[in-house]
A and B are shown apart, each in its own frame.
Chain A
Amino acid sequence: MIRMLIPLGVFLALLALLIAGLQTSENRKLVQSPLIGKPMPDFSLPGLYDPESTTSRADLLGEPFILNVWGSWCWACRVEHPFVERLGNEAPIALVGFNWKDEREDALAWIDQFGDAWDRHLVDFEGKVAIDLGVYGAPETFLVDHEGVIRHKHIGPIDANVFQDLMRRAMELKAEAES
């Protein structure tokens, strides 16, 4: 009888390993950006509607803000867009759109179709600043405090839970900036 249970035992061990592996691979995704807690790197980027205007790091300092990385080529950005819109309307702090590796016409057409959710636009067509920021893909959402320090980063599209979490963090940053 014991002999007959050996295959089951082997299988259960394998199953345990796979469940553990699933956990580990989940944790791997949660590896925080090395830039969290570090000041946001210096940059100067053009705007979306007006290519002549530029925004630099100094322009954004003083108030906390949300930085949302997107692109018209990015399918998941469409999925998270309803939440980005809600962030734009409901969050107590500014929502900055970071248009990444895009073409200007495509980005503008995209905004025409889905709506402009952001308070302010930065454009990084070559993706040079994005590298300093540690952007791995789109969409990604950063929270930056009033001193320009990156406090939080979310990788992937925003869903209902992430939205709640971002709202809570945004309020904390706001309170911190005012105190």
Chain B
Amino acid sequence: MSAELGQISLILALVLAALLSVLPMIGAQRNNEALMKLAPSLAIGQFVFLAGAFAALAWAFLQHDFTVTYVAMHSNLLLPWYYRLTAVWGSHEGSLLLWMLLLGGWMLAVAAFSRSVPRIFTARVLSVMGMVSVGFLLFILFTSNPFERILPGPIDGRDLNPLLQDVGMIFHPPLLYMGYVGFAVAFAFAIAGLIGGRVERDWVRWSRPWTLAAWAFLTFGIALGSWWAYYELGWGGWWFWDPVENASFIPWLIGTALIHSQAVTEKRGAFPAWTVLLSIAAFSMSLLGTFLVRSGVLTSVHAFANDPERGLFILAFMAVVTGGALTLYALRAPRIMTGEGFDWISRESALLLNNVFFTVSAAMVLLGTLYPLIIDFMGWGQISVGPPYFGAMFILLMTPVVLLLPLGPFTRWKRDGFMRILQPLAVTAAISIVAALLVCAWLGTWSLRAVSGWIGGFWLIGGALAYAVRTARASRSGLARHQWGMTLAHAGVGVFLIGAAMVEAHTFERDIRIAPGETVEAAGYRFTLHEVAQVKGPNWRADEARFSIHKGEREIARMNPQKRLYHRGGQTMTQVALKPGVFRDLYIAMGEELGASGAWSVRLHIKPFVRWIWGGAVLIGLGGLIAASDRRYRQQRRQRADASLASGAEAPA
């Protein structure tokens, strides 16, 4: 029964979304209070039904209802309950349902926390989000319904892909989708602004905390995905420039540009049209990512089940959403106010530069991701673009960003002097170079990448701290939340940079042959294999290698990597053993047994500072969340709202 309830819930959610996309919009055009007031209730109702549908699918998983096709394909009797729960979003259909649930959640939040925003504006925002909901719900119901039944149902299901039976997978998709879907809020604010014909500082201020939060979630999601790939895929890499990864990275780059351009538009009223465009682009890129991952246009290591019909649907949806938004932009943009002028050396210029670099980076990643498509279409053969392309482009584009980043916050709006900015940072620059060289000497590394990584990292962290100290001294109340957030995020970039540079420069990686009783020496560590034992899990059995690792005379770790065989799907999987550390990770992955000698092929990695990569990303994301929580947005919002209510509702456009 639960599947039918879920289906009905989904249809009801669709009905409410359809009402939401029409009624409040009409209300806003006609200045009809009653219709506008419907928006929050409809959003709440939609969320309730979405939650109902989601719970129904989860229930089907928990109850082993294999007559539901989706359950039969992604679960089985041996799967522990927590993985049955996360299997709900383990594949295409369910993950779309999760996506929808999160969109519903964002709408609920907008309805709840926007009391101080003029009603007409909230009504339009929720209405636009309702349109997005309609598209996605139709997509789910017509092409990807998770509630399909198969009768008679099988006695047992197929297994959930073992790669997904993991903690990282529990949180990675929800966080990532929170980010993707969160950009729908920024999108809706921009469209509401365009429809209202008033693209002014107001809506940018209102949408800033939402954009920051969405961007922060996306940051966490990407970082978690990278961490998961690192320990779960058994290759030991942390970023592969795979189309699926790029699909999440492009919206992140655009989002990064967006949160910076919003700052300019809010504070100075400069580049408002550009901010609108970026808001549209960030969400469109999220849709594009969805298309790339799910349509089978690009082949990827971890693509979802491919279906061109779904691809066509998403394209049509994108054509409506993005095409409509850009048409509206073309019609309304000439009316967008122009901001005040600014000098060459000014905060505006600095942020403009940031935007140029981040959008160009996004375009470069997009180009590299779509290039195989272009080549194939031209009939020049089937190709793929190697990671070196992305690496080279990134170093090229991000070096200036790293060099200039600490200068940004020190720059004044409108007009500034170059020397005035550089002076307080000269000391920071000197200190970071000296400190970096000292660290490199201590680590004994003189590779170009490592040294420049340390200098850049210290420069970023030092610059962020210098800014925090100076701002704290200058104001009575200390740092505001948004300043804290920025400091943290910028320092996080430095931490990330150090991690990435050290991993790229000094990863030790070797495939070895080792038999029980043997010891292998690698980079100062001694790896001893004691035995290979048979162990059993709930739905798998495994060969487990028992290693002890010595450094000098001291045993520093025991590590037990496994080679698992999952009963149901008959799939083998490498379970990596990790010894994490602040300064290095030890990483062992088992290959296969070599003949009857009892020897195994084993992959050893020693990854210096690899945790700093994700640590930096977490700092960046936290910075975003802290900035989003700044009281300033709520307070000023209230004042502004009062003011605009006082001036009377806006005339119909």
Contact = CB atoms under 8 A, between A and B. Distances in A.
A70 to B, nearest CB: 15
B315 interface: yes
Contact of B377 (A4, A17, A78, A113): A17
Interface in B567-601: 569-570
A11 B366 CA distance: 13
Interface in B315-358: 315, 318-319, 322-323, 326-327, 329-331, 333-334
11 contacts: A4-B329, A4-B333, A7-B326, A11-B284, A17-B370, A19-B315, A20-B377, A21-B373, A21-B376, A21-B377, A22-B297
Contacts, number: 71
Nearest to B281: A7
A17 B315 contact: no
A61 interface: no
B315 A73 contact: no
Interface string A12-43: 10110111111011101000000000000000
B106 interface: no
Interface of A: 1, 4-5, 7-8, 11-12, 14-15, 17-22, 24-26, 28, 73, 75, 78-79, 113
Given A7-B277, A15-B319, A22 B329 contact: no
Given A17-B373, A25-B297, A8 B323 contact: yes
B296 A25 contact: yes
A21 B326 CA distance: 23
By CB atoms of chain B within 10 A, which of A12, A19, A25 has the most?
Answer: A25
A4 B328 CA distance: 10
A24 B373 contact: yes
Nearest to A109: B155
Contact of A8 (B288, B327, B376): B327
For the residues of A in contact with B, the DSSP-based class is helix
By CB atoms of chain A within 10 A, which of B291, B297, B370 has the most?
Answer: B297
Given A4-B329, A4-B334, A18-B297, A26 B376 contact: no
Contacts of A26: 308
A7 B276 CA distance: 11
Given A19-B315, A22-B297, A22-B312, A5 B330 contact: yes
A19 B158 CA distance: 33
Nearest to A8: B326
B318 to A, nearest CB: 7
Nearest to B326: A8
A15 B315 contact: yes
Contacts of A79: 150
A137 B72 CA distance: 20
Contacts of A18: 288, 291, 297, 315, 373
